[in-house]
Structure 1
Amino acid sequence: ALKEGGHFTAYDLSNTDELLVPITYNEVVGRQTDTLHQMGRRPYPPYEEYDTVIVTSFEPSKVMRLRVKEDWYFYKQRSQMMVRIIALCPVMIKERDGQEVTEPMFWISYAQARDVFAKALVFNEFNSAMRLTYDELFWKRLFDSYIYKEQNVYDRRINAYAQGLDALLESERIKQEMFRFEEDLWQY
């Protein structure tokens, strides 16, 4: 769906995580193509050096995660917390120096891509008779997630001030704080 003249626009991953700078399909593919120049020596006479260029092209199968940018708000008429998905960011898993590294690619507006998600079916391994679309999957929140950033004074991500287990605990604390906010509004 993301191609020249495609269904939706990709946005640059600027430092602000905002949908400000649109990028083209060729820019997206160009950023995901790695070029490695490697010098080698022939194992037979005359043992001369040679230059090899190794080009690794974009592989969609390496996109294993999505970042979901959401707005959580309190809906007064129902007295409940509601969520609105703003954008999605595909995240590739790459191998660098023997370690797996996550690399975010670009943002797409969820509103723009919603028509595509509404037509694409998701396989439900627990109930093969139930037909489910990606739009329903996001709307019903049928995915696992953790919070990696919240609105704050310094606009910092959680991993900027907490690492490892502390970052996961901070993410869970934020989630519980949102849950308590909604629950504390009710009187029993």
Structure 2
Amino acid sequence: MKKWILGLAMLGGMHTLTAQIDHSTPTAGKSWLAGGAQESYLSSPPLPLPALREADILWEKRIWRVIDTREKINFPFRHPAHSLFTALVAGIDSGQLTAYSPADDRFSEPLAPAAIWNRLNQTDTITIIDPITGAYQQQVVTNTFDPARILRWRIQEVWYFDTRHSTQQVRILGLAPLLETTGEEGTTVSYESPLFWINYAEARPWLAQYAVASSDNDHSRSSWEDLFAMRQFSAYVYKENDLLGRRLQDYRSGEDLLRKSKQIDRDLQHRKMDVWSY
């Protein structure tokens, strides 16, 4: 009797589950709850930044950092389907985001999407043999850019002390993907150059729509805007705003360069704590 009742209950549960799934439309784009395999993510607009007046700022310092995507905490930056580069390029191609010239990190010169892709998708001429005639022919091919080549990001931020709220805060100003340049003979050149700059204040609403890949809980994921707001990334200082506008590598090297980078970070944290020291 118990087995018979249990069997009816299981059949009823299967009928209820089947009734919830609509098989009349294609499953492309549907979440697994609706019978598809699409990952579900409900985006929300970013929280507005706190009101800040020029008169409220007692002290500020501009810092440039580098995010190395090969560090474990930065692995989401390299996800094949949910990378930061993919999200930004989608916004640039759709006209929702503006890319700025890499020559100036003040966002003064906009770049057309075509100019970016002309640099990324490089063309080359190769020699092929016609399988029928055996004659040599020249053919132009386009090398499609692989986002996995973006190994590091440059981030520009400003630290400031807000006298109105008596707190030290930080705001991200811009993001730039760095591309490693390769020499003519296949040797890697020892410098990187930014592809373009993105004004982070303009990009916040767009980045809030794109989820960050998570290794723990696929159902509870944060957006790229959440990641930067909570500073869930690792980065080191490579430049500070000084009198000569120098990078750290211009006057430090080796272990001295690493110590100087960490010292700048410590000074920022100590300044925050020393405000309340008597």
Shorter-chain TM-score above 0.5: yes
Count residues with an aligned counterpart: 179
Instruction: Return the structure number with greater strand share.
Output: 1
Deviation at 1:7, TM superposition (A): 0.8
Q: What is the aligned counterpart of 1:85 among 165, 168, 172?
A: 172
Indicate whether 1:18 and 2:106 are aligned: yes
- Deviations along 1:71-106, one digit per CA (max 9) or x if unpaired, are 110122343320111111112345543437633210
Unaligned runs of 5+ in 1: 43-48
Distance 1:168 1:52, change over 3 A: farther
Distance 1:50 1:164, change over 3 A: farther
Indicate whether 1:65 and 2:65 are aligned: no
Are 2:91 and 2:206, in contact at CA under 8 Å, matched by a contact in 1? no
Mean Cα displacement is larger for which, 88-97 or 134-143?
88-97
Are 1:4 and 1:24, in contact at CA under 8 Å, matched by a contact in 2? no
The amino acid that maps onto 1:10 is A
Indicate whether 1:156 and 2:243 are aligned: no
Identity of aligned residues (%): 31
The RMSD of aligned alpha carbons is 2.7
Q: What residue number does 1:173 align with? A: 263
TM-score (norm 2): 0.56
Deviation at 1:67, TM superposition (A): 1.3
User: Larger C-alpha radius of gyration, 1 or 2?
Assistant: 2
Are 2:160 and 2:169, in contact at CA under 8 Å, matched by a contact in 1? yes
TM-score (norm 1): 0.80
Q: What is the aligned counterpart of 2:231 among 141, 148, 158?
A: 141
Distance 1:26 1:171, change over 3 A: same
Instruction: Return the structure number with greater helix share.
Output: 2
Are 1:117 and 1:135, in contact at CA under 8 Å, matched by a contact in 2? yes
Are 1:62 and 1:94, in contact at CA under 8 Å, matched by a contact in 2? no
Are 1:8 and 1:112, in contact at CA under 8 Å, matched by a contact in 2? yes
Q: Which has the higher contact order (CA 8 A, sep 6+)?
A: 2
Q: What residue number does 1:45 align with? A: none
Q: What residue number does 2:220 align with? A: 130
Q: What residue number does 1:56 align with? A: 143
